Structure 1
């Protein structure tokens, strides 16, 4: 057994296979064409840059969202410092957590059909749920072909 891995906290995201059938890789623009459009003064830097893109595709942040929901009522500074060490980027945190009042939403849709309660940081620096009375019944099913979920649980479709 490896002792150095026992104390290491697990990541709050999963890698998703983006090369399977019927899954878009979200290809975006070709970086190789962009690389050669650098200005003359930046020519040396442009030739040293790699062909690797800047986007990180194939990430599933469901473990992060579940972690944040379990942390409701705790200090935001403690939560955020732990999250920073377990993520590749902090952007997904703010898909769920609103730092300003105008950003608050009762229900947050991640992707096409995965819903989570909206979270915010109150004046005392505590992570709170925007509307604690929200349940899976409040999710509006927009199409019958998709399975809508609320915090990972399937939402019943109305007939």
Structure 2
């Protein structure tokens, strides 16, 4: 299943069946995951809220990501993705969270983190899973691939949880 709308609809169905509310914490996608899930009619039954935390200060202020953690690992890291997802969960009424942080381009690359590097986290209860991928293409392609992968990963995470 690669179509974002179909992925979001299927995600909603699974969340609704399990009685779970979703929250998102997004940086590089700028709310793309939240937009995808709220494109689905009735999503208020399974989507609580979304955080667009683009700056480091907003990650700290809205999601309780420690500034020291950002300084230690950099904004684009699995550690920060995990802290974002956990912070979104703690600051919402949701049961499960997904987060994205990355370099969509065309600039922003740093040594070891080329354009297209994206880190994800999915968290529910005391379980958090992270992943780091490098996508190809322009800014729009990277963001679209990120939204798709965030939803696919959420479905995989829900199967295991």
TM-score category of the 2 structures, normalised to the smaller one = under 0.3
TM-score (norm 2): 0.24
Higher radius of gyration, 1 or 2? 1
Q: Which protein, 1 or 2, shows the higher relative CO under an 8 Å CA cutoff with sep ≥ 6? A: 2
> Where is the strand percentage greater, Structure 1 or Structure 2?
2
